[in-house]
Amino acid sequence: MADTPTSLTTRRALIAAVTLTLPGAALAAPRRVVTLLGDSITAGYGLPARAALPARLQAELDRLGASALVRGAGVSGDTTAGGLARLDFSVQKDTSVCVVALGGNDLLQGQDPKRTKANLDRIVARLRARKIAVVVAGLKPPAVIGRAYAREFEAVFAAVARTHGAALYPNLLAGVAQTPTLNQRDGFHPNAQGVQVIARGLAPVVARALSGQR
Protein backbone atom coordinates (compact mmCIF):
# COMPACT_ATOMS: atom_id res chain seq x y z
CA MET A 1 0.00 0.00 0.00
CA ALA A 2 1.34 3.42 -0.93
CA ASP A 3 1.99 5.96 1.80
CA THR A 4 -0.38 8.90 1.93
CA PRO A 5 0.94 12.39 2.68
CA THR A 6 -0.64 12.13 6.14
CA SER A 7 1.02 8.79 6.96
CA LEU A 8 4.42 10.06 5.77
CA THR A 9 4.15 13.11 8.02
CA THR A 10 3.16 10.97 10.99
CA ARG A 11 6.01 8.53 10.39
CA ARG A 12 8.60 11.30 10.10
CA ALA A 13 7.38 12.88 13.30
CA LEU A 14 7.62 9.54 15.12
CA ILE A 15 11.16 8.90 13.83
CA ALA A 16 12.23 12.39 14.90
CA ALA A 17 10.78 11.90 18.37
CA VAL A 18 12.55 8.57 18.84
CA THR A 19 15.85 9.91 17.50
CA LEU A 20 15.90 12.79 19.97
CA THR A 21 15.62 10.32 22.85
CA LEU A 22 18.68 8.33 21.80
CA PRO A 23 21.91 8.94 23.77
CA GLY A 24 24.10 11.44 22.00
CA ALA A 25 21.46 12.18 19.38
CA ALA A 26 20.80 15.71 20.55
CA LEU A 27 23.57 18.24 20.16
CA ALA A 28 25.57 18.43 23.36
CA ALA A 29 25.75 21.80 25.06
CA PRO A 30 29.17 23.40 24.61
CA ARG A 31 31.47 22.73 27.53
CA ARG A 32 32.40 25.62 29.76
CA VAL A 33 36.00 26.81 29.60
CA VAL A 34 38.49 26.82 32.45
CA THR A 35 41.64 28.83 31.71
CA LEU A 36 44.87 28.24 33.60
CA LEU A 37 46.74 31.54 33.75
CA GLY A 38 50.17 30.70 35.04
CA ASP A 39 53.83 29.96 34.52
CA SER A 40 55.85 26.83 33.72
CA ILE A 41 53.80 24.67 36.09
CA THR A 42 50.62 25.26 34.08
CA ALA A 43 52.56 25.31 30.80
CA GLY A 44 53.67 21.71 31.45
CA TYR A 45 57.40 22.33 31.42
CA GLY A 46 59.31 19.17 30.50
CA LEU A 47 56.18 17.10 29.93
CA PRO A 48 54.13 15.93 26.95
CA ALA A 49 50.80 17.69 26.56
CA ARG A 50 48.84 14.65 27.73
CA ALA A 51 50.69 14.71 31.08
CA ALA A 52 50.61 18.48 31.61
CA LEU A 53 48.28 20.18 34.07
CA PRO A 54 45.60 21.33 31.58
CA ALA A 55 45.01 17.78 30.33
CA ARG A 56 45.17 16.17 33.78
CA LEU A 57 42.87 18.76 35.34
CA GLN A 58 40.37 18.25 32.53
CA ALA A 59 40.43 14.50 33.18
CA GLU A 60 39.87 15.04 36.90
CA LEU A 61 36.95 17.40 36.25
CA ASP A 62 35.41 14.81 33.93
CA ARG A 63 35.80 12.21 36.67
CA LEU A 64 33.97 14.52 39.09
CA GLY A 65 31.16 15.08 36.60
CA ALA A 66 32.12 18.73 36.12
CA SER A 67 32.97 18.49 32.45
CA ALA A 68 34.85 21.47 31.10
CA LEU A 69 37.39 22.37 28.46
CA VAL A 70 40.61 23.27 30.26
CA ARG A 71 42.70 25.73 28.31
CA GLY A 72 46.35 26.23 29.23
CA ALA A 73 47.61 29.81 29.33
CA GLY A 74 50.92 29.23 31.05
CA VAL A 75 54.16 30.90 30.02
CA SER A 76 57.40 29.55 31.44
CA GLY A 77 59.23 32.13 33.51
CA ASP A 78 56.22 34.40 33.79
CA THR A 79 55.76 36.60 36.85
CA THR A 80 52.59 38.22 38.14
CA ALA A 81 53.57 41.33 36.17
CA GLY A 82 53.84 39.28 32.99
CA GLY A 83 50.49 37.66 33.61
CA LEU A 84 48.91 41.05 34.13
CA ALA A 85 50.40 42.38 30.90
CA ARG A 86 48.97 39.56 28.79
CA LEU A 87 45.73 39.03 30.71
CA ASP A 88 43.23 40.13 28.09
CA PHE A 89 44.99 38.17 25.36
CA SER A 90 45.52 34.99 27.37
CA VAL A 91 42.13 34.71 29.06
CA GLN A 92 39.66 34.59 26.21
CA LYS A 93 36.12 35.90 26.44
CA ASP A 94 34.52 32.44 26.57
CA THR A 95 36.22 31.63 29.89
CA SER A 96 33.88 30.68 32.75
CA VAL A 97 36.54 30.08 35.41
CA CYS A 98 40.13 31.28 35.51
CA VAL A 99 42.69 29.65 37.76
CA VAL A 100 45.31 32.29 38.54
CA ALA A 101 48.48 30.34 39.27
CA LEU A 102 51.19 32.98 39.29
CA GLY A 103 53.74 34.07 41.84
CA GLY A 104 56.34 31.31 41.80
CA ASN A 105 58.78 33.32 39.71
CA ASP A 106 58.17 36.41 41.84
CA LEU A 107 59.26 34.27 44.77
CA LEU A 108 62.35 32.96 42.99
CA GLN A 109 63.33 36.52 42.12
CA GLY A 110 62.82 37.68 45.70
CA GLN A 111 60.30 40.31 44.69
CA ASP A 112 58.57 42.44 47.30
CA PRO A 113 55.35 40.63 48.30
CA LYS A 114 53.53 43.96 48.13
CA ARG A 115 54.31 44.17 44.41
CA THR A 116 53.12 40.61 43.87
CA LYS A 117 49.93 41.38 45.77
CA ALA A 118 49.27 44.52 43.73
CA ASN A 119 49.66 42.61 40.46
CA LEU A 120 47.43 39.76 41.56
CA ASP A 121 44.86 42.21 42.85
CA ARG A 122 44.65 43.88 39.44
CA ILE A 123 44.47 40.53 37.64
CA VAL A 124 41.61 39.23 39.76
CA ALA A 125 39.75 42.56 39.72
CA ARG A 126 39.82 42.64 35.92
CA LEU A 127 38.66 39.05 35.65
CA ARG A 128 35.79 39.63 38.06
CA ALA A 129 34.79 42.74 36.10
CA ARG A 130 34.44 40.42 33.10
CA LYS A 131 32.11 38.15 35.13
CA ILE A 132 34.71 35.36 35.20
CA ALA A 133 34.89 33.25 38.36
CA VAL A 134 38.39 33.06 39.79
CA VAL A 135 40.36 30.46 41.70
CA VAL A 136 43.51 31.93 43.24
CA ALA A 137 46.20 29.25 43.51
CA GLY A 138 48.63 30.15 46.26
CA LEU A 139 52.09 28.96 47.20
CA LYS A 140 53.73 28.01 50.47
CA PRO A 141 57.33 29.22 50.39
CA PRO A 142 59.92 27.20 52.29
CA ALA A 143 60.94 28.81 55.56
CA VAL A 144 64.58 28.50 54.53
CA ILE A 145 64.21 31.67 52.45
CA GLY A 146 63.42 33.61 55.60
CA ARG A 147 60.45 33.05 57.86
CA ALA A 148 59.18 36.63 57.83
CA TYR A 149 59.38 36.87 54.05
CA ALA A 150 57.78 33.45 53.61
CA ARG A 151 54.85 34.37 55.86
CA GLU A 152 54.29 37.69 54.11
CA PHE A 153 54.46 36.11 50.67
CA GLU A 154 52.12 33.23 51.53
CA ALA A 155 49.55 35.66 52.98
CA VAL A 156 49.28 37.52 49.64
CA PHE A 157 47.10 34.90 47.97
CA ALA A 158 44.50 34.60 50.72
CA ALA A 159 44.27 38.37 50.99
CA VAL A 160 43.63 38.82 47.25
CA ALA A 161 41.04 36.03 47.20
CA ARG A 162 39.26 37.48 50.22
CA THR A 163 39.17 40.99 48.75
CA HIS A 164 37.47 39.85 45.57
CA GLY A 165 35.36 36.98 46.85
CA ALA A 166 37.40 34.51 44.81
CA ALA A 167 37.99 30.86 45.65
CA LEU A 168 41.35 30.02 47.18
CA TYR A 169 43.46 26.91 46.66
CA PRO A 170 46.10 27.68 49.29
CA ASN A 171 49.07 25.78 47.88
CA LEU A 172 49.28 24.69 44.24
CA LEU A 173 52.23 22.41 45.04
CA ALA A 174 50.69 20.77 48.11
CA GLY A 175 51.98 17.22 48.44
CA VAL A 176 54.48 17.75 45.62
CA ALA A 177 57.02 20.40 46.62
CA GLN A 178 60.29 19.02 47.98
CA THR A 179 59.23 15.44 47.23
CA PRO A 180 61.92 14.09 44.87
CA THR A 181 59.82 11.27 43.43
CA LEU A 182 57.18 13.77 42.28
CA ASN A 183 59.52 16.28 40.66
CA GLN A 184 61.79 16.45 37.66
CA ARG A 185 65.55 16.49 38.08
CA ASP A 186 65.64 20.25 38.60
CA GLY A 187 63.68 19.80 41.83
CA PHE A 188 61.27 22.59 40.93
CA HIS A 189 58.97 21.30 38.22
CA PRO A 190 56.59 18.40 38.89
CA ASN A 191 56.88 15.25 36.85
CA ALA A 192 53.82 13.44 35.47
CA GLN A 193 53.03 11.87 38.84
CA GLY A 194 53.40 15.22 40.57
CA VAL A 195 51.07 16.91 38.10
CA GLN A 196 48.48 14.23 38.78
CA VAL A 197 48.66 15.04 42.50
CA ILE A 198 48.17 18.73 41.73
CA ALA A 199 45.22 18.07 39.41
CA ARG A 200 43.52 15.81 41.93
CA GLY A 201 43.77 18.43 44.66
CA LEU A 202 42.79 21.40 42.50
CA ALA A 203 39.87 19.79 40.66
CA PRO A 204 37.27 19.92 43.47
CA VAL A 205 37.86 23.65 43.98
CA VAL A 206 37.51 24.31 40.26
CA ALA A 207 34.40 22.12 40.11
CA ARG A 208 32.75 24.20 42.85
CA ALA A 209 33.64 27.39 40.97
CA LEU A 210 32.06 25.95 37.83
CA SER A 211 28.90 25.01 39.69
CA GLY A 212 28.53 28.62 40.75
CA GLN A 213 28.62 29.71 37.12
CA ARG A 214 25.55 27.77 36.04
Active site residues: 40, 186, 189
3-state secondary structure the chain: CCCCHHHHHHHHHHHHHHHHHCCCCCCCCCCEEEEEEECHHHHCCCCCHHHCHHHHHHHHHHHCCCCEEEEEEECCCCCHHHHHHCHHHHCCCCEEEEEEECCHHHHHCCCCHHHHHHHHHHHHHHHHHCCCEEEEECCCCCHHHCHHHHHHHHHHHHHHHHHHCCEEECCCCCCCCCCHHHECCCCCCECHHHHHHHHHHHHHHHHHHHHCCC
